[in-house]
Chain A
Amino acid sequence: MMINIVTALISGLLMGAGLVISGMTSPDKVLGFLDITGFWDPTLMLVMGGAILVNLPATWLILKRQQPANAEHFHLPERTTVDKPLVLGTALFGIGWGIAGICPGPAVTSLLSGSADIILFFLAMIAGFRLHKATSLLAR
């Protein structure tokens, strides 16, 4: 549906703007938050806090609906229990995030900001997605 493409575009515009305005597209600023034993920059906590402040009541209201405004049903994750892949995967993600100070949102948002570093990181991240999909196919 056309409307879904427009709303996805607007959602992306809002989130990209949020990442830039909050400073989260700067790897140094993110690392300044993660480095709690040095000079600490708590900004990321307010970014996540501000996002949840808006999104938590909104999500609660939205999920009371029978269906989304422009789709047949909600696409929510089916798994609800904590398992090994969740813990291992998020631990590996945290290591990568801690090395570079870049996570997937800022990697997309900064892609054309004029940094070759981001492009290299982005390509390696895509390779990481592929690698996981390939190994999970093998494991089946």
Chain B
Amino acid sequence: MMPWTEIFNFTPLQGLAGGILLGLGAALLLLSNGRIAGFSGIISNLTNSDRSWRLAFLAGALISGTVLHRVLDLPAADSQLPASGLIIAGLLVGFGTSLGNGCTSGHGICGLSRFSLRSLVAVMVFMVSAMVTVYFMRHM
């Protein structure tokens, strides 16, 4: 028996199309700049001397994200959490990705694509810990 009761809100075509764009973007950065397209590392290393490509990358994501958000008329990405919850979550995501050297993009998309054992372990650990966290928050 599957653990879930019902498939819900599934948008496979949009997911696949968006995923292909993510893969293309990551491939371009590796081919041209020789860099891993990991958001957490790019943000947390903005204070390094070699910052212009990092700023350009983040500006690109911010520009296309903001424009598409408007064009597609999407609702603001609000959370149902109180401010304290957002602060705790943000601190954990920042501290954790810095300690663990990556997030969903760096480990998930780039690391798995180059068969990194560290990234494979990372993806399994953050998927399980996130799923367990959601289970506690929603069902306990």
CA distance A86 to B42 in the complex (A): 18
Q: CB-CB contacts of B102-122 with A at 8 A, as 1s and 0s? A: 111101111011101110011
Say yes or no: B7 contacts A90, CB within 8 Å.
no
CB pair A108–B65 under 8 Å, yes or no, is yes
Residues of B within 8 A of A101 (CB): 79
Most buried by A among B7, B34, B93, B133: B93
Residues of B within 8 Å of A87, CB to CB, are 100, 121, 125
Report Cα–Cα, A50/B102, bound state, in Å. Answer: 20
User: How many Å lie between the Cα of A95 and that of B90 in the bound state?
Assistant: 10
Q: What is the CA–CA distance of A53 and B78 in the complex, to the nearest angstrom?
A: 31
Beta-carbon contacts of B49-86 to A below 8 Å, as 1s and 0s? 00011101111111111101100101011111101011
Within 8 A of B (CB), among A39-53: 39-53
Q: Is the CB of B103 within 8 A of A103?
A: yes
Do A77 and B103 contact each other (CB < 8 Å), given the known contacts A53-B20, A56-B113, A129-B43? Answer: no
Residue of chain A at shortest CB distance from B70? A113
Across the interface, do A98 and B131 meet the contact criterion of CB distance under 8 Å? yes
Q: Is the interface of A mostly helix, strand, loop or mixed?
A: helix
Given A34-B131, A40-B4: A13 and B53 interface contact (C-beta under 8 Å): no
Given contacts A32-B9, A43-B10, A59-B110, contact A120 B63 (CB under 8 A): no
Query: In the bound complex, do residue A79 and residue B96 qualify as a contact, i.e. CB atoms below 8 Å apart?
Result: no
How does the 8 Å CB contact mask read for A105-140 relative to B, with 1 for contact and 0 for none?
111111111110110111111111111110010000
- Across the A-B interface, give the 8 residue pairs with the lowest CB-CB distance, nearest first: A128-B94, A12-B60, A50-B19, A22-B18, A89-B100, A124-B90, A98-B133, A96-B92
Q: A99-B92, A114-B76 are in contact. List 10 more A-B contacts (CB 8 A).
A: A17-B68, A34-B131, A37-B4, A41-B7, A48-B19, A50-B16, A94-B129, A120-B87, A125-B43, A129-B44
30 A-B Cβ contacts within 8 A? A11-B26, A11-B37, A12-B59, A14-B22, A15-B60, A16-B68, A17-B68, A20-B64, A22-B14, A22-B22, A25-B74, A37-B139, A38-B139, A39-B5, A50-B16, A50-B19, A55-B23, A60-B114, A80-B117, A82-B118, A92-B100, A95-B133, A96-B94, A100-B81, A103-B39, A103-B104, A103-B105, A128-B94, A128-B96, A136-B99
